[in-house]
Amino acid sequence: MRAVCVIGLGLIGGSVLRAASAAGRPAWGSTKSEADADAARADGFEALEIDEALSRAAAEDALIVLATPVTAVRGVLRKIAEHAPDAWLTDVVSVKDPVDAEVRSVLPEARYAGGHPMAGLSSSGWEAGSAELFRGAAWAVTIEEDTSLEAWREAAQLALDCGAQVVPTSAAAHDSAVARISHLPHVFAAVLAAVGADGGPLSLSLAAGSFRDGTRVAGSSPELVRAMTEGNRSALLDAVDDALGRLGAARGSLASTGGLKSTVDSGYAARRSLEALATTTRTTTTVRLDGNAPERLRELGDLGGRVVALTPDTAQVELPTPS
């Protein structure tokens, strides 16, 4: 099993290091945070200086996992260029197009496929992580026309070893999707929390389940939320515009006719679609990892397909039956 070198040992990187180790893979990490490094060592893991960690990755032909905030990506890529320029490389950063562009610019020889596990943000740091964080979760692994199939396979295998299911997609499609289902929810939570608090202590005293649920992620670290949302600016602007359009339509309907039927019904149908995904039956398709694979895998990802197993030559994809 290929060794794993994780750069950044916060909630996500720390959980990858634990999960890869638990899957039996040789694994070590590095972090700028002395607190996270000490905590990782106290839990029995190897946290090395970054030069040492990357030299060892080159020596052992390891898969390097970039798990820093997006703002630190360029600096780490320069370090990798110094120690392991043709490394196997993936990342777990929440936005994919900007990371892809940095990798192409700084590390053109890297065997790279981007990744993004869809796991929580509301706590942070090594201590908040666990080997089980990714169990059953979706984990996007990007595949462009020129992505090396071997690099994609390496990144996807890591996700499977961590207990996740792989969603194959392009960087652009990923960024557009997560703007809608992760970044816009953070903006909505912040706006909702502020509008509620504007109502003063009486409003917060009366707040119950709907407000608690709708504002939960507003309690996440502001730095991480800003890095994530601001890092996906263009796709997030599209999602915010869609939301402004729908909210403005609700406003207009309520003001003119007094009714919210269209808003409420479309929200209900959408939520039902989400809930149906958890219980729907699934069919399994096998995709050969040949020259047609990138397009075929992205098509299946677009339909909600997830890779659940890999062989050297094939990917097994589970597809939800349309509702």
Window 212 to 231, contacts with its own copies (CB under 8 A): 212-220, 222, 225-226, 229-230
3-state class (DSSP) for residue 261: helix
- Does position 273 bind its own copies by CB under 8 A? yes
- Residue whose CB is less far from its own copies, 56 or 306: 306
* Ranges within 33-62 binding its own copies (CB under 8 A): none
The encoded tokens of residue 181 equal 């289902």
Does residue 247 bind its own copies (CB under 8 A)? yes
Q: Does the footprint of its own copies cover residue 237 (CB under 8 A)?
A: yes
Q: Which two tokens stand for residue 87?
A: 């490394």
Residues numbered 153 to 172 that lie near its own copies (CB under 8 A) are 167, 169
Find the shortest distance in angstroms from Cβ 223 to its own copies: 9
- Which of 92, 131, 178, 287: binder of its own copies (CB under 8 A)? 178
Q: Which two tokens stand for residue 34?
A: 């002395």
Tokens 């995709």 — which residue? 287
Angle, helices 293-302/171-178, rounded to nearest 10 degrees:
10
* Encoded amino acid at 136, one letter: G
Tell whether residue 182 is a contact of its own copies (CB under 8 A): yes
Query: For its own copies, which stretch binds (CB under 8 A), given 28-36, 75-83, 84-92, 244-252?
Result: 244-252
Stretch that binds its own copies, among 43-51, 63-71, 101-109, 271-279 (CB under 8 A): 271-279
Amino acid at 162: C
Sheet holding 111-112, edge to edge: 27-30, 4-7, 63-66, 88-91, 111-112
The interface mask with its own copies, positions 96-135, x = CB under 8 A, is: ----------------------xxxxx-------------
CA 314 to chain centre: 24
DSSP annotation string for 115-177: EEE----SS-SGGG--TTTTTT-EEEEE--TTS-HHHHHHHHHHHHHTT-EEEEE-HHHHHHH
Q: Does 69 bind its own copies (CB under 8 A)?
A: no
CB of 52 to its own copies, least distance (A): 34
Choosing from 203, 283, 286, 321, the residue that interacts with its own copies (CB under 8 A) is 203
Q: Which amino acid is at 258?
A: G
